[in-house]
Amino acid sequence: MEENITSVPVLRFIELLGTFAFAISGIRHAAAKHFDWFGGYVCGIAVAIGGGTIRDVMLGVTPFWMTNPIYMICTAFALVVVIVFAKYMEYLSNAWLVFDTLGLALFTIAGIQKSLACGQPFWVAIIMGCITGAAGGVIRDVLLNNEPVIFRKEIYAIACVFGGLTYWLLREMSMPIEITVTASFFVTCIIRFLAVRYKISLPLLKDSGNA
């Protein structure tokens, strides 16, 4: 039954974890560009709520962050964490990748669950999961004047797709929600980490014009 896979406490918890993880990622990127604290907060907010906002608008519901200030507070807490532990984070050169991947996986799950709760078919839910997970990163990169990571050759949104397919497969097998969510989370994270570690990528488009 739909209620068993979209319980409000589980969805809220996943969204908060994803918000914190994405906010850390966005603020870290802003720090690398030497933004001030406010700029870092704006960048963190953009990446934390951007994908979910697009998802909710497409689903015809009130954007999630407009119903509860906890997401703004969560991003502010992420900013404090980055500021306080900045010198320790300098030693974690791949910290942004870890937090970005965690946010990607968590928001993919949140997008799938919310779409299913709105009565959307599963293929739409997977697309909404990808948008929730990846669109915030696009907004972040545009703000930072970087090439959006989703358009580069490295695996990013494809990890969301495989995580979503894992969710669908386990749901069809009537697996418990805890197992379904955990498996979807780890599949998304593992694919992303392996793709970066071993430089796995999709084929590039070839320009047929003159060089």
What does the pLDDT profile of the chain (211 residues) look like in tens digits?
A: 343 444 557 667 777 888 888 898 899 889 989 999 999 999 999 999 999 999 999 999 999 899 999 999 999 999 999 999 887 776 666 666 787 888 899 899 999 999 999 999 999 999 999 999 999 989 989 999 988 878 875 688 899 999 999 999 999 999 998 899 999 999 999 999 999 888 888 888 887 765 4
In the chain, what are the domain boundaries? 2-197
What distance in Å separates the CA atoms of residue 28 and residue 91, rounded to the nearest whole number? 13
What pTM was estimated for this model as a whole?
0.86
Tell me, what DSSP letter sits at residue 5?
G
Tens-place pLDDT, residues 118-165: 999 999 999 999 999 999 989 989 999 988 878 875 688 899 999 999
Tens-place pLDDT, residues 94-105: 666 787 888 899
Looking at 60-94, list the stretches that DSSP marks H as alpha helix, in order from N- to C-terminal side.
Answer: 70-84, 86-89
Q: Following CA atoms 105, 20, 11, 57 in sequence, which dihedral angle do they give, to the nearest 10 degrees?
A: -90
